[in-house]
Each structure stands twice: as C-alpha cells, then as structure tokens.
Structure 1
Amino acid sequence: MSTARLPAEWRYLLAGAAGTAITMGVGRFAYTPLLPLMQHDHGLDAVAGSWLAASHFGGYLAGALLAALWLPARRRAAAFIGGLVASVLSSAGMGLSETFTSWMLLRFVSGLGAAAAMVLGGALVLERLPATQRAFGSGLLYGGMALGIVGSTLAINGLAAGGWHAPAIWLACAAACTPLLWCARPLLEAPPSSVAEARTALEARPLHLGWLLLAYACAGYGYSTSATFLPLIVRGLGVGPQISAWVWLLVGLAALPASFAWGWIAARCGSRRALDFAYLVQAAGVGLPLLLPNATGALLSGALFGASFIAVVALALAIAREAEPTRASRVIGLMTSAYGLTQILGPLVSARLIGPHDNFSWPLVLASASLLLGFALLRLAYRRPPLRLLTESA
C-alpha cells in the first residue's frame, strides 16, 4: 500500500500505528493466546511461560533504557525501524527454533523491538504533529496495538482450529507483519521545522515526576499478570474452552475503540482525572475473576482490561510529556523503564505463587492491589511540589 499521496500527518500516524501493531499487537501480544498452544505442543508449564514473558519484559526494559539514556537523537528513526525488523525476525525465530534457551533470547529481542516502538515511535510521531492533533494522534498510535491484538488473535484461533501448530502460527504472524514495515518508512523523514520549533515552546505543567514514575511502575506490575496469563486464568475458572480461547480477542476489541474514547474523556475531564479512572478500571478488570469466577466474570475481565491498559500507558506518558515538554524522548524512556522493570517481576512472582495446579488467586490479588497503590501514588504526583529528575542538558 502506498502512502505517498496522504497528508504528512496521516503518513506519520500510520507509520507509528504500524510500528505498535508489529511490535506490540503481534510481537508482544501474540504470545498470550499462543502460550496455551505452546504448552500443548511443547510441554511448557506456567513457570516456563513466566520466564519467557519475563525475558520479553527484560528486553523491553533494556531497550527503554537504551533509548532514554544512550541513543543520540539523530539515530532515533533508524533505531525505530531496526526495532520493527527485529520484532518480525524474532517472531519468525519462535517458529523456527525448538529450544527453551533460543526462545528466551528471541523473546528478549522482541522486547527490544517493543521498546523501540513505544519510546521512539511515540516521540517521533507526536513531535511531528501540531499540538491540537496530538490527543487524536495518541489514540490512533495506540489503536495500532489494539488492531494488532485483534488481527493476531483471530489468526491464531482460526489457524489453531484448522490444526496448525504453534511453530507454523509464529511464522504466519511474522509473514503477516512484514508488509507493515513499508508503512513505517515516513518516520525516517526529518520533522517539519515549524513543528519542531513549536514543540520547544510548550509550557511545562508542574508535576512530581518521581511519584509519577512510582505510580507507573505499579501499573506495570498490575498489568503483567493478565497480559501474560489471561487465557490460562480463564481456563482455570472452568468456563469452557471457547471462552478461554476467545477472551483475548475481547481484550483487543475493547482496546480498539477505547484508544479514542479515552482521548475524548481526557479532553473533557483532563488527562489526570482520566488517568485516575483508567487505573481504577484496570484494577477492577484484573481482580474481577476473583469476585466472579464464571463466564460473566471472565468476559467482563477481558473487556475492562482491554478498555483500560492502553489508556494507562497513553495517558501517563502524555502527562509526563506535559511535565517535560522539551525532553520528551528522555522522560518517556524513564517512564517506560519503570514500567518495564515491574513487568519483569509480575510473571516471576506469579510463577512462585500459582502452585502445581495453576491457581492464580494470589497473583491476581497482588496485581489488582498494585494498581490501587498506583492510583494512590498519583495523588502525591499531582499535589506535591515538582521534582526535576531531568537536567536542562538532558
């Protein structure tokens, strides 16, 4: 598909959306519905699945730190494209390799690609847009992730129903992502000078960035259990294989309109109030299987989780950018690093708590409580005097 005739803003938005679809919608989130199939085909248990998830989150953390602290600005676009290519190749590698060690390495590489899309792609897109278009732009940018979740889940469930095994499905996912690489090329262009100059004139909104980092770290822990194990959690409720197989599709379907709905909410209520509400909705979605251990609870959990987890990321990063408007890449990298660190802990702690019968009660309690703690920490981020974590030379 050619994008040359589209307005520049749309080409940038589609490039960023393609990046999140490749690296997050497929590269990251195809693993969640594929994990039960990998258990069947390769004999993986939930503990092994936790380590593979943690390896991906470790790559995500390393990539975020690299982008935030060591990557020169002139190389951001090339690193973004490189991350997309790495994500596609790592998905293909999951289908071509058969050892746990190689899977650990490939999931780490996939995490590096995801960090490139989230840290670099978001900054590259939004800095090219006028300020009035950034709320809508964030919705479309992260909507690419939701579309990737929907597409990959439909493909995985359909191919699995047709008798395909996990290795072949991984290869199919990589093949489906390859054409999207072409759509990401516009971000190699330099931003228009008028937009770049306008970006430096934005006024910072006072915020205690340290407390926001801690609150965002809590969100990372709260997100990771459901993001890794939701089909397994639902299967443990005894609600039937159809619901457990398709609940992840509901996550993507809920996330798709939510990417834009939360922008609308933020425009009317303010980004900070919208973020508060998103934390509470996600906490409810994560903990709901404990309160309603049935099909209704499973479906509502998927819907609430899907409707909120992208919003927490998008709104928190937007608020951080408002606090440090001239150092967007650096602050997004720090935020993503905090989120990535606790993402690693989530599946590893869950693996120690689920026991031999894959009981996720305590992991869900801790994940939901972590989100509620993050909501409480946001109160401190908003009300305390601002703390400058980034120097003027950053």
Structure 2
Amino acid sequence: MNTATLSAEESNTRASIRAIVAGLCASLVGIGLARFAYTPLIPSLIGAHWFSVSDVIYLGAANLMGYLAGALLGRPLARRISARTILRGMMLLASLAFFACAFPLSVSWFFVWRFLSGLAGGSIMVLVASTVLPHVPLNRRGLAGGAIFLGVGLGVAASGTLVPLLMQLGLQATWLGLGVLSLALALLSWKYWPVTPPTGTPARTAGTTHLAPDTALGLKILFMQYALMAVALVPMMVFLVDYVARGLGWGTHTAAVFWIIYGLGAIAGPMVYGALADRIGPALTSHLALWLQAAAMGVMILSQQHIVLMLAVFVVGTFPPGIVPITLGRLHQMLHNDAAAQNAAWSRATTVFALFQALAGYGYSWLFARSGGDYHLLLLIGAGALLLALLGDGVKKVFGGKAAPATL
C-alpha cells in the first residue's frame, strides 16, 4: 500500500470522526439537554414561583409537541436548503431557547421556546444519522450510530449532575449556563459537518421507491415495534424520580442518585447496542434488548432492594438512546444500498416514535392520576408494550411474503 493510499485513508478516517463528533454534539444539545435537563428543574420552577404546577406540566408537553413537529418538518427543510445548514441552525435554535427560558416573561413565552427546543430536537433526530453515517465505513456504522446518539445519554447524565451544580447559582443562571454549553457545542461542531449531505434534493420524489412484499411488511412491523418501544420507555423516563422519592419513600437525595444511574445506563446503551449490532446484526440485537428491558421492568415491579433496583434502572436507562442505532441498523439492512428509501423510512419511524411518545406521556399522566398514583400499573403497561413488540417478529414469520407490494 503506497503513501498516497495511506494518506487518503487517514483523511477519510479523520473526516468520519469529525462527522461523528458533530452528530454527538447535535444529539447532546437538541435531545439530551433540550429535553432531559428540564426534568430536574421542575421542582425549582415551582418552588421559585415561576409557574404553577399545572403550567409546568403543560410546558413539559410543549417539548414533545415540538419534537413531533421537527420530525415532520426536518426532512422537507433539508431538501429545500441542506441538511448541514438545518443541523447547524437547529443547534443554534436549541441554544437560543435556553437563553430565552432564563426570562419567564409569561407562560406563552416559555411555551413557545420549549416548543422550539423540541422542534430542534426532532429535526436533528431525523437528519443527523442520514447526514453522518454515509461517511462511515459500512462495518462500523452500528458503533458509529451508537456514538452519535451517545449525546442523548450524556444529556441525561448531565441533567442529574451538571444541573444541580448550576442550580447553586440560581434558576436563571442554570438556564443561561445550559445555553452557553449548547452554544459552545454548536460552534465546536460547526465545521465538522460533511460538506455534501446525502439528505439534499433526492434524485426521485418520495413515494416512488417500490418495495417487495416481504420488505414492506417488515417495515410496517418495525414501525409498530418502534412505536411500542416509545410507549414502553415513557414510565421511567417521566416517573422514575417520583417513584423512588415518593413511591418507595426513599427521599429526593436517593431519587437523584437513581436518576444519575439511569443516565449512566443511557451513556452506555448506544455504544453497547451499536457495537453488538455490528457483531450479531441489528435484528437479533433488537430482540435481545426487548427481552432485557421487559425483564428489568419486571424486576422493578417485584423488588424493593436498593442494589437490585439500581441494576434494573441502569438497564432501563440503556433503552431510550440505545434503540436508536438498533432501529437505524434494521432500516439500513432492509433497504440496503438505497439512501433515499433509508432516509424516508427513518423520517417516518422518527415521526411514529414522536407521536406515540407524546400520546403515551399524556396517557400515562392521566392513568397515574386516575389510579391514585399506581406506579406498578405504569410499569406493567410498559412491560406489556415490550412483549407486544416482541410478537412482531413472529408476525413476520407467519405472514412474510403474503403482503402486497408497497411504495415508500
């Protein structure tokens, strides 16, 4: 191998690493911080009399609504401009939202900025993988996908560690500090995005990719499974701190420790699942992850031992960011060598996920109130959603090849 070849390989490797770093920064800002940093701030928002309890819940939903809007708009915007420009812009928008939230001018003002932060996160989720992964060698895409969405886990961990530290300076200073961090990450990644993103104007319009019957059925089942995963992850994502503090009666300090453990799981999840998908395939990895999550939720229902619950919470924490590289890998496996179809399918999967996550958030909150605060009921529903998702693999084996052709 000559020097020129080695130099080209080194250059490509560096470009891949830079693109992955940009993706990690984007998921950290748009999803990790913009969504999860709000959870530990809720008591302070109420205690400082910025908003009432009902307003805080309403404002929390604004981010999920914005996420759904971003999932729907991200890809069309990228066609008109470019994925690179949209990703840069959305990171700046998320940063600006943090600065704006430092000034509680009104509920409407706060709602708009929480909605816009969610819109940034949804757009980033739709675009970041399809912009970065084509610049990564095929046999490393599972691990690379995990590295990109490691940012989500880092955001969860930061919400349990960085936010309490910033809160020592005050609530307003915390919002400003999160804005400074997000802006720094946006500027760090500014030049790292690939110059020619594959999500630009497609060679053909959406809806013209003809799918074989087996592939069409497989995609429908995958979308259904991804929706059920969204339903399953909401209980612990929303109610974990409250469950430990009030449900188990262990207090807020212990609850904060459990949230940090959840965050550590979220850091490990994308990399572990992504690397495993490279070795044994994304489909088998998905199957194992679903069983593992169902078992962990079962443990949380049956046990009240500190160490046992800590291990279960760590496993549950791997799931929200970990299922992203797995699902991406399954889509790429089904639609191999068709970037346009992969991007369209991922956009649809993200939209389905966002919709069911938002619906589940409202549904679990309603059920929690009506059941008198029955945390175990929520866990049972989450575990049931995982078991239903597992049935999807059996459905494909029974009906594979019998479905009608479809377009994407």
- Which residue of structure 2 lines up, in the alignment, with residue 189 of structure 1? 195
Equivalent of residue 227 in structure 1, options 237, 253, 258: 237
- Which residue of structure 1 lines up, in the alignment, with residue 178 of structure 2? 173
Mapped to 2, the partners of 1:183 and 1:319 lie a distance apart of 31
1:208 aligns with 2:223: no
What SS class does the counterpart of residue 135 from structure 2 fall into?
A: coil
1:376 aligns with 2:391: yes
**Cα offset for 1:355?**
2.4
What SS class does the counterpart of residue 102 from structure 2 fall into?
A: helix
- Which residue of structure 1 lines up, in the alignment, with residue 18 of structure 2? 11
Change (3 A) 1:374 1:72: same
Mapped to 1, the partners of 2:358 and 2:183 lie a distance apart of 28
Mapped to 1, the partners of 2:36 and 2:197 lie a distance apart of 30
Query: In the alignment, is the contact (CA less than 8 A) between 1:210 and 1:381 conserved in 2?
Result: no
1:110 aligns with 2:117: yes
Query: In the alignment, is the contact (CA less than 8 A) between 2:31 and 2:121 conserved in 1?
Result: yes
Mapped to 1, the partners of 2:324 and 2:288 lie a distance apart of 13
Equivalent of residue 245 in structure 1, options 248, 256, 279: 256
**Cα offset for 1:208?**
1.6
Change (3 A) 1:287 1:348: farther
Equivalent of residue 283 in structure 1, options 274, 294, 297: 294
Query: In the alignment, is the contact (CA less than 8 A) between 1:274 and 1:315 conserved in 2?
Result: yes
What SS class does the counterpart of residue 361 from structure 1 fall into?
A: helix
Deviates further, 10-19 or 374-383: 374-383
1:353 aligns with 2:367: yes
Unaligned runs of 5+ in 2: 1-10, 203-210
What SS class does the counterpart of residue 101 from structure 1 fall into?
A: helix
Mapped to 2, the partners of 1:297 and 1:101 lie a distance apart of 43
Mapped to 1, the partners of 2:350 and 2:318 lie a distance apart of 20
- Which residue of structure 1 lines up, in the alignment, with residue 343 of structure 2? 329
1:131 aligns with 2:138: yes
CA shift digits 1:311-351 (9 cap, x unpaired): 22221122113223422221111000110001111221122
Mapped to 2, the partners of 1:25 and 1:154 lie a distance apart of 13
What SS class does the counterpart of residue 28 from structure 1 fall into?
A: helix
CA shift digits 1:14-71 (9 cap, x unpaired): 1111101111111111122222333433386776554333321221111111234564
1:365 aligns with 2:397: no
**Cα offset for 1:133?**
2.4
Mapped to 2, the partners of 1:120 and 1:134 lie a distance apart of 16
- Which residue of structure 2 lines up, in the alignment, with residue 200 of structure 1? none
The Cα RMSD (Å) is: 3.0
CA shift digits 1:338-377 (9 cap, x unpaired): 1000111122112212228644333332222222212222
Deviates further, 145-154 or 108-117: 145-154
Mapped to 2, the partners of 1:49 and 1:291 lie a distance apart of 32
- Which residue of structure 1 lines up, in the alignment, with residue 6 of structure 2? none
Unaligned runs of 5+ in 1: 197-202
Change (3 A) 1:136 1:379: same
Counterpart mapping for 1:12-31 below 5 A: 12-31=19-38
Mapped to 2, the partners of 1:103 and 1:364 lie a distance apart of 31
Change (3 A) 1:230 1:36: farther
- Which residue of structure 2 lines up, in the alignment, with residue 199 of structure 1? none
Query: In the alignment, is the contact (CA less than 8 A) between 1:254 and 1:303 conserved in 2?
Result: yes
Change (3 A) 1:147 1:342: same
Q: Which amino acid aligns with 2:394?
A: R
Change (3 A) 1:387 1:27: farther
Mapped to 2, the partners of 1:249 and 1:219 lie a distance apart of 22
**Cα offset for 1:125?**
0.4
Mapped to 1, the partners of 2:332 and 2:406 lie a distance apart of 13
Mapped to 1, the partners of 2:52 and 2:295 lie a distance apart of 27
Matched pairs, number: 378
Change (3 A) 1:211 1:5: closer
Mapped to 2, the partners of 1:124 and 1:67 lie a distance apart of 12
Deviates further, 273-282 or 351-360: 351-360
What SS class does the counterpart of residue 7 from structure 1 fall into?
A: helix
Equivalent of residue 91 in structure 2, options 72, 84, 97: 84
% identity of equivalent residues: 24
Q: Which amino acid aligns with 1:312?
A: I
Mapped to 2, the partners of 1:179 and 1:268 lie a distance apart of 35
**Cα offset for 1:144?**
2.1
